[in-house]
Amino acid sequence: MTELKIYKTTSKGLKLIGMSLPFVLIGVWMIFESPMGTTNYIMGWIGTCFFGLGIPIGIIQLFDKRPQIIINENGIWDRTTKQDQIKWEQIVNAYPLDIFDQKFISIVSDDSFIFKKKPYKWAAKLNKEIGAQNLNLHLGQTNIDENKLIELIQKLAKAEKKDRRKIIHSFKISKGGFFLSSFLKILLYISISITLLILSLTGITAFMTIMIIMGLGAITAR
C-alpha cells in the first residue's frame, strides 16, 4: 500500500535540551557550592529537578524515529491524537488552527467516525471556544507546511480510491532534518537561557519567576 509518512524534526528536541541544560548545570553547581539547608542549596535542587526533566524528554524526541502521521489510500492517522485512522470518506473538511504558535489541522468528520474515547464536556467546550474539532492533527513537531497538507487532505477526501495512490505519489515532502537555520535558532535559545539564568541569580523571586517562564517555554517546545 502506498504510504506517506511524516516525522518529527530533530530541532524540537535540541531546543528543549538547550533550554534546560544551562539551568541544570547551574543548579548542580549551587548544590555543591552552598551549605545544606540554605536558600541557594534549595534553589539548586529545585532548578536541577525541574529543568532536568527537559533533558530526557528532549533526548526521547531527538531519537524518536517513529512516524507521527501516516497517510495512505484508506485514510490518515496521527499518533498524537490516540485515535484510530480516519477514512477519507469520513472527512467533511479540514482547516488550519494556530494555538500559542503551535500548528494544528482540525478535521471535521461525519457521524460515522467513532472516537475511541469521547472528549470530556469541558474539553469539547474548550475546543468549540478556540475553533478546534474533536480530532486535530498536531504539526508543531514537524516541518511540513500546513496549507499544503490541508490541500492534500481535501484532495484525497474528494478523490476516488483508484486515484488516491497517484495523488499521494505526487505529493513532495521534505524529511525532517537538521538545517543551518535550526542550528542558529538553537544557539539563540541557549543564549536566551544563559541570559535568564544570570538574571535568576539576583534573588529567589527572580529565580522562581524565570523558572516558571522557562517551564512554560519548555512545555511549548514539546
Q: What global pTM score does this model have?
A: 0.66
- Output the nine-digit C-alpha cell for 46: 529545585
pLDDT, tens only, 157-211: 999 988 999 999 988 875 444 445 556 666 666 666 666 666 655 555 555 555 5
What mean pLDDT do residues 31-42 have?
85
Q: Is the pLDDT of residue 35 over 70?
A: yes
Strand 91-99, strand 75-78: pairing: unpaired
Could you give the CA distance from residue 217 to residue 1 in angstroms, rounded to a whole number? 40
What mean pLDDT do residues 116-136 have?
81
- Output the CA–CA distances (angstroms, integers) from residue 28 to 21, 42, 49, 79, 124, in the order listed: 11, 11, 10, 36, 43
pLDDT, tens only, 1-12: 788 999 887 777
User: Which pLDDT band holds residue 152 (cuts at 50, 70, 90)?
Assistant: very high
Q: Specify the 3-state DSSP secondary structure of 100.
A: coil
Q: Is the pLDDT of residue 85 over 60?
A: yes
